[in-house]
Amino acid sequence: MSETRENQSSKRRIRIFDTTLRDGEQAPGASIRPEQKIVIARQLARLGVDVIEPGFAISSPGEFQAIRQISRELQGVEICGFARCVRDDIDAAVAATREAARRRLHLFISASQIHLDFQLRKTQDEVIQTIRSMVAYGKQFVDEIEFSPMDASRSSEEFLYRVIESAIDEGATVINVPDTMGYALPEEFGPLFERIRRNVRGGDRIAYSTHCHNDLGLAVANSLAAIRHGVAQVEVCVNGIGERAGNCSLEELVMAIQTRGESLGVETGIRADQIYETSRLVSRTMHVPIAYNKPIVGRNAFQHESGIHQDGLLKNRNTYEIMDPEAMGIPRSMIVLGKHSGRHAIKHRVAEYGFRLADQELEDLYRRFKATADELKIVTDDVLLKLVGESSGVAAEPYALLDLQVLAGTQRTRIASVTIRRNEDGSEASYAASGEGPLEAVIHCIRQAVPVEAEFEDLELHSLSTGEGAFGEAVVTVQYQGARHQGTAVDRDIILAAARAYVSACNAALLSGRSFGEASGQ
């Protein structure tokens, strides 16, 4: 144990600078209200980020007030005010962050010739003079000044040295070298930091940071290259959101460091068990869905359909997983049942619901499963339980949705009615309810029928095809007795799909507590 602690203590600490609320919010369609910023900032603090850049204070009164409240409330994390090299920007950033326990000012100006010629319309000497005057001005208010030469990776190195040297001369304490356009390659970006240290006066006495965009899919790779060459801070966004293709992904960088920390010789202070919750919060709040194949937090990141992979996972998770999803707060759902799945995976999934099938029943289930998988591609749990019932002669689901009717319109309250069967005794009952939306009305109906105090936490809707006859897939997540349970359903009617998915999630919650009768062969 003592040897492990020594190894950990010898690792260099990388500071995580989160700019989800500033650069991340600049992603098209990701803009959020000031009160939503505060909620995300609180979660970022729980996640353990070192620095939060909560916005651009000069941009609006609401933005200013949100930054002020975050600065006042989150005293345990450093708050960074963001500003162009413009006096009014600096004044706003300084005023908004005044109540922070620890704060810094982040100033930036373009450094590439193409930006100077076509955006700033300034000469190099004019840019140098602006940097000197604005860094000196900001230094009157705060001790910590971070300076960023925007588009550094496309700048002339000689001019980049001049720009950085002028900022250091006037009191900058952190130099952030950004790959603003996601243009750099790792093998050229990392060594750039060593050349800056050697060629810039004072370059060996300040801290370095990097801020990489993902236009070529290299943001994490470039950030890791910078770390290998001495960078002490990396600027990131949750889910990799941001301008264009986004920024360096917080969760990808952090888990790369955690998984390969011995090789990299570094660590972070991020609490991994908060990663999934933070990712979901940002996705929901900013209305930016997470790609299925997104590393770490994507739906498919820890799911496996191949029969070979599934068999290996069931024997030892490390055969096909290099990280533990549950350590990141991700629900354990590693097996996705589809046409490539084998008997072992099907038997395992059925057993998770408490059912033990005889050999002949399992063979019959496998045959039915394969026929269904060819048609549906993925066999969801509610479909699988129906197939179990057909193979065993006993209904596997505690409750089944038999009928649904919804009345919706622009000038009326949404009204729904459902008929639910309790499979244990075959009884059927109908329920009616209203809601602000048709799905809310349906959920209110089902809650009357299914006796499980499960919180409806999340709904995902996905189109599985195109055209008027497209199928929609609904994934509903509920929380029950401290655990998350998912239900999935597919239908051309998305309200019906969501209703079936909700009933399936409630069934999963009930079966997890073994509160329903035993199936045959158990």
pLDDT tens profile 182-237:
999 999 999 999 999 999 999 999 999 999 999 999 999 999 999 999 999 999 99
Question: CATH code for 399-512?
Answer: 3.30.160.270
Question: How far is CA 229 from its chain centroid?
Answer: 28
Looking at the DSSP bridge assignments, the partners of residue 84 are: 108
Looking at the DSSP bridge assignments, the partners of residue 235 are: 17, 211
- Burial grade of 187 (CB within 10 A; 0-12, 13-18, 19 or more): exposed
| Count of residues making up the chain | 522
pLDDT tens profile 83-119:
999 999 999 999 999 999 999 999 999 999 999 999 9
- The structure tokens 């062969």 sit at 521
- For residue 454, the SS3 value is coil
Question: What's the Rg (C-alpha) of the chain?
Answer: 27
For residue 518, what pLDDT is reported? 40
Q: Which CATH class is domain 13-286?
A: alpha beta
Local structure of residue 233 (DSSP, 8 states): E
Which alpha helices (H) appear in 116-260, and where do they start and end? 124-139, 157-169, 186-199, 219-228, 250-259
Q: pLDDT confidence of 520, banded at 50, 70, 90? A: very low
At 15, list the tokens.
């500071």
- Burial grade of 31 (CB within 10 A; 0-12, 13-18, 19 or more): exposed
- For residue 37, the SS3 value is helix
pLDDT tens profile 260-282:
989 999 999 999 999 999 999 99
What is the residue type of 111? Answer: A
pTM: 0.83
Mean pLDDT, the chain, integer:
89
pLDDT tens profile 304-335:
556 666 666 556 767 767 788 888 987 765 56
Rounded-to-integer distance, Cα 304 and Cα 314, Å: 11
* H or E element in which residue 8 lies: helix 2-9
Every domain of the chain and the residues it spans: 13-286, 307-392, 399-512
Strand pairing of 427-435 and 414-422? antiparallel
Rounded-to-integer distance, Cα 117 and Cα 109, Å: 13
Asked whether this chain's domains 13-286 and 399-512 adopt the same fold, the reply is no
Rounded-to-integer distance, Cα 507 and Cα 244, Å: 41
Instruction: Find the mean pLDDT for residues 487-511.
Output: 89
pLDDT tens profile 348-362:
878 877 788 888 888
